[in-house]
Amino acid sequence: MTDRTLLPVLDAALPTGVVRPFADGLAAHSIELTRHAVTELQINLGKLCNQTCTHCHVEAGPTKTRENMSAKTAERIVELASRANDLSLVDLTGGAPEMNPHFRGLVETFRRQGLRVIDRCNLTILQEPRYEWVAPFLADQHVDVVASLPCYLEDNVDSQRGDGVFQKSLAGLRQLNELGYGQGGSKLTLDLVFNPTGPSLPPDQEKLQADYQHHLWEHYGIRFNRLLTITNLPIKRYATFLAKRGRLPEYMNLLESNFNPAAARSVMCRSLVSIAWNGEIYDCDFNQMIELHPPQLPAQDSQAVTVWDIQSLDAFANRPISVADHCYGCTAGAGSSCGGALT
């Protein structure tokens, strides 16, 4: 898609002309973003969450009770996934995906279908009343856990995610370790996610992973498999956070000036589609949050395409991908995806 406009849906004013339109950056390197096959399906089960984080592009929180996936939508997604020729991975996210009443049923169904399942867990949900079942259930189903821990220092985590979150996160990590997650020789995978606490690019992923592993083991006796570094995208709550401090234009310039063509050629949207809690389908989770719809499918009547408008996820294979200026966040420096650095 060759839309040359600036991203129109930031929750804060971005002065026109601050950055070169992302589509122009792609064109300068003769890059066209096209999805080759749908091998990964990311499902946002809703915006309901037990936390309210400053960097959250979903704007999730405890009050988002209505924006939660229904049984009808969940059943339709299962049906579509069963028809996908190349699908191998289902990535469950939110909000706190475990707070959706259909989380367990989806996990069990996808695992029976032989699909790898990821749960994007904020760790503190494991300590919440009525959610004590989560960690044992994940282990029983051999679900890979990708857990948010934006720093290994308590003050940094609590400043971004709320007072007491760090200690609750450590308790969640210990519980997962006791179940076998992150341990040598275990098939239960535990990866951590780092987000910068300020408007900067993540540091080198391998070096930071070594620091995390050393600090968490030496100070807390906690083990994990990999660290994934993810750049904060300048949309929704994080864009507002930066704008209120007068740093949004600076951050956009930082992202654009560090544009990496190699990362652009490896972005996750080339193999993934994202489904929202209401059944709308997008090219990625970030586009979903700003309602940037994919390019029109053949015979598509409305701007939004939903799970009821297609017969297979393969309808999105060999299709162009919608882009706007927030895409600089995935292509700056070493690149950023839900699986960490790209280069």
Would residue 172 count as lying in a domain?
yes
The first and second tokens of residue 83, run together, are 């028809």
Q: What is the pLDDT, as a whole number, of residue 11? A: 41
pLDDT of residue 8: 40
Asked whether residue 13 is assigned to any structural domain, the reply reads no
Per the domain annotation, does 217 fall within a domain?
Answer: yes
Q: Which residue has the tokens 């996908």?
A: 84
**Is there a domain that residue 282 lies in?**
yes
In a domain, 10, yes or no: no
**CATH code of the domain in which 190 resides:** 3.20.20.70
d(CA 329, CA 176): 31
Within a domain: residue 3? Answer: no
DSSP 217: H
Instruction: Tell me the residue ranges of DSSP E strands in 86-140.
Output: 89-93, 116-121
What pLDDT is stored for residue 107 in this prediction?
Answer: 98
Q: Which domain holds residue 76?
A: 22-331
pLDDT at 17: 58
- Domains contained in the chain, number: 1
pTM of the model: 0.92
State the pLDDT at residue 54.
Answer: 55
Confirm whether 208 is domain-assigned.
yes
Q: Is residue 1 part of a domain?
A: no
CA atoms within 13 A on the CB side of 142: 9
Question: Which element (helix H / strand E) includes 215?
Answer: helix 205-220
Helices marked H in the chain: 22-28, 71-83, 103-112, 134-140, 154-161, 165-178, 205-220, 236-244, 248-257, 261-264, 285-289, 328-331
pLDDT for 5 equals: 39
Mean pLDDT for each consecutive 10-residue tract of the chain (343 residues)? 41 56 93 96 93 60 86 98 97 94 98 97 94 98 94 81 86 98 96 90 96 97 97 85 88 95 97 97 93 88 91 96 93 95 95
